[in-house]
Structures are given as C-alpha cells and as structure tokens.
Amino acid sequence: MKSIIESLLYISTRPLSFKELAKLTNQKVGEVEAAVKELVDEYNLKDGGIKIIQNGNQVQMTTSPKYTELIQGFLGEEVSGELTPASIETLSVIAYRQPIRREDLEQIRGVNCSIILRNLLIRGLAEEEKKDGRVFYRLSLDFMKHLGVTDVKELPDFAKLNSINIAPTLDPMPPIQAPVQTESDPQLTEEID
C-alpha cells in the first residue's frame, strides 16, 4: 500500500487527503495515515531532492526547499519556452473534449500524459476541476482569454470535432509483420549480405 500511495503522490498535481487516499487504495484512513507517516519519515530523513509534506489531513510530494532557486529557474524556462508538439496535441484534445479525465486523455493519445498535464497546469493553460470525486481537465479561463474566445464552442470546427465518436479509433493496431526473406527476392538477399 505504501508504494501505491507513493505513486499517487508522485503523479498528483495537488495535495491529496487521507480520505481520498483511503478511497483510492481501498484501505481504512488510519492505515493510510500510518503508511503516509512511514513515507514522510523515509523521504524527509534522507538528504534527497524529494520531500513529502503534510498539512493537517493532506499530503503532497514536493521538491526539497534547498533547490528552490534552481527549480524556479528551470520552471521559468519551461513556462516561457515553446510548447512541444505533444503539449499542443494534449491541449487540443482537452479543448475539444473538455471536461476530460486524464485516463480518457491518455486513451485518446495512447501515452501517459501526467508530465504534460503538469506542465500545462504550471503554465496556466489548463486547469483541474473536481466533479463527483474525480478530476477533470479543461482549458483555463486565462488561456481562453488569450485565444480570444468566450466559450470553447467558438473554437474552429468545435461542433464537428466534439461530436466525433472516437471509440472505434481506439482499437489496437495489428502487429507489424517483419518482411520474410525468400529465395526469389534477390534484392532482399543483397541487403542482408
């Protein structure tokens, strides 16, 4: 259970409560508190770059305060630099499918989106919304203001792209077969030699 909690804290972009962690791990709150205490002791006793902070009944994984200046410099570059193609693709999916859960976003893109989502949140381009105990992502109001739209429905081809049923496109691709060498294919034989 401790490893599961550690994983959840690592990917979370916000503090998690003991109650949330108990629900996610199917454990009692007291057991979660004990596991978190062990994690806090492990991370905070060593002189590493990652710490776990606890404030009341909430806990979050953070970087060590001694690297604050270095990290702020790095994040400044990350925030002011150009978006990567993967970030643009993720932002586009969020824009046309919002509100969207991370799991659905990852299913559409076919890759883990945790780091990209964290970067979009830091930049203020996307924001989290909690609904029915689940986290959804949507465009931030600041980014919509930057785009010059008052509603996502004003985005180009929004109705068309929002209504596309993407479930059939999520079927796995058939495996790629390697070419088979035959004696009647001299070019293939030459390439291998």
- Residue 11 located in a structural domain: yes
How far is it, in rounded angstroms, from Cα 5 to Cα 61? Answer: 10
157 and 87 in a single domain? The answer is yes
Q: Which pLDDT belongs to residue 94? A: 92
| Tally of domains within the chain | 2
At 68-87, the pLDDT tens digits run: 788 777 766 655 567 889 99
Q: How much is the average pLDDT of 91-95?
A: 91
Q: Is 152 within 8 Å of 158 (Cβ atoms)?
A: yes
Q: Are residues 10 and 88 in the same domain?
A: no
- Rounding to the nearest 10 degrees, give the CA dihedral for residues 95, 97, 100, 102: -80
Q: Is 181 domain-assigned? A: no
Q: What range does the domain containing 35 cover?
A: 2-67
CA nearest neighbour of 138 among 101, 107, 86: 101
